Amino acid sequence: MAKEFKTIEELVALLKSRGVATDEGTKRAIERESYYAIVNGYKTPFQDRQAMQSSSGDVFLSGTDFNSIYELFLFDRELRSITFKYLTRAEAVMRTTVAYVFSKNHTEDNAYITRSNFCAWRDYLVPRAFKGDKRSMHSANLSSLMNTLTKKLVVNDRSSHALPWTWAPRDRLCA
């Protein structure tokens, strides 16, 4: 269902009608960042769950002000910004290590499109709280990976069939 268009003034009025205190900075913040990014993304800790049981819309805890919600939004943005740098480094290390070990253990051409070179469903790691069917999840994810890799192989058909991340002995890299 599409959201009905509301002006900035209507959005500020909506906040007030739901018990959120606003000030002159509220309008500017909404204009810059979007009501939905701020409020819908960060309202949960400020909601009055008990009052919402008898209401069709959001009801906020007494004393909630827009600035508190906005500060949580800004904190989350800053935290994501700080952690992103380190997560990308960790991802690069993980990606390189996995590609290296895989390529070291599977030296045949196009080893990355051979299903048997990947873990069996019994060895597939899932969170402890996972309640789904591990076998079907493994099969679906492996099929998706194989489709992606096969498409890469077709696109790169004129090349050596090696993906950019595939490790190869030095003599195989030189023509």
Q: What is the pLDDT of residues 65-89, one digit of tens each?
A: 999 999 999 999 999 999 999 999 9
Percent of the chain with pLDDT over 70: 87
**pTM score, two decimals?**
0.61
Q: How far apart are CA 80 and CA 135, in angstroms?
A: 34
pLDDT tens figures, 110-128: 888 888 999 999 998 999 8
- Please state the length of the chain: 175
pLDDT tens figures, 30-72: 999 999 999 999 999 999 999 999 998 899 999 999 999 999 9
Over the chain, what is the mean pLDDT?
Answer: 88
Amino acid at 49: R
Q: How far apart are CA 142 and CA 117, in angstroms?
A: 11
Q: How far apart are CA 165 and CA 55, in angstroms?
A: 54
In which band, very low, low, confident or very high, does the pLDDT at 156 lie, cut at 50, 70 and 90?
Answer: low
Q: Give the per-residue pLDDT at 154.
A: 73
Q: Which residues of 124-145 are buried (b: 16+ CB within 10 A; e: fewer)?
A: eeeeeeeeeeeeeebeeebeee
146 Cβ neighbours under 8 A, 6+ residues apart: 113, 115
